[in-house]
Amino acid sequence: MQHIISESEYAHMVAADNGAAVTTSMKIAEYFGKRHKDVLRRIKTLRCSKEFAERNFALCFHINKLQNGKRTPVYKITRDGFFFLAFGFTGEKADVIKEAYINAFNWMADRLRSYDHRRNELTALYKAGQHSASLCGRGLSRWKQDKRDLEEQIEIVEQEGQLPIPFLDAPYSISEVA
Model confidence pLDDT, tens digit, residues 9-45: 888 899 988 888 999 999 999 999 999 999 999 999 9
Burial class (CB in 10 A: 0-12, 13-18, 19+), 21: buried
Q: How far apart are CA 93 and CA 4, in angstroms?
A: 9
Burial 41-63 (b: 16+ CB within 10 A, else e): ebbeebebeeeebeebbbeeeee
Return the DSSP state at 67: G
Q: What are the domain boundaries of the chain? A: 7-114
- Please state, in angstroms and rounded to a whole number, the distance separating the CA atoms of residues 116 and 110: 10
Q: From the centroid of its chain, how far is CA 87?
A: 33
Assess contact for 53 and 46: CB atoms under 8 A: yes
28 near 36, Cβ under 8 Å?
no
pLDDT-derived band at 143 (thresholds 50, 70, 90) equals confident
Q: How confident is the model at residue 177 (pLDDT cuts 50, 70, 90)?
A: very low
Q: Compute the residue count for the chain.
A: 178
As a whole-number percent, the residues of the chain with pLDDT over 90 amount to 42
Collapsed DSSP state (helix, strand, coil) of residue 134: helix
Note the pLDDT tens digit of each residue in 65-104. 887 888 999 999 999 999 999 988 999 989 999 999 999 9
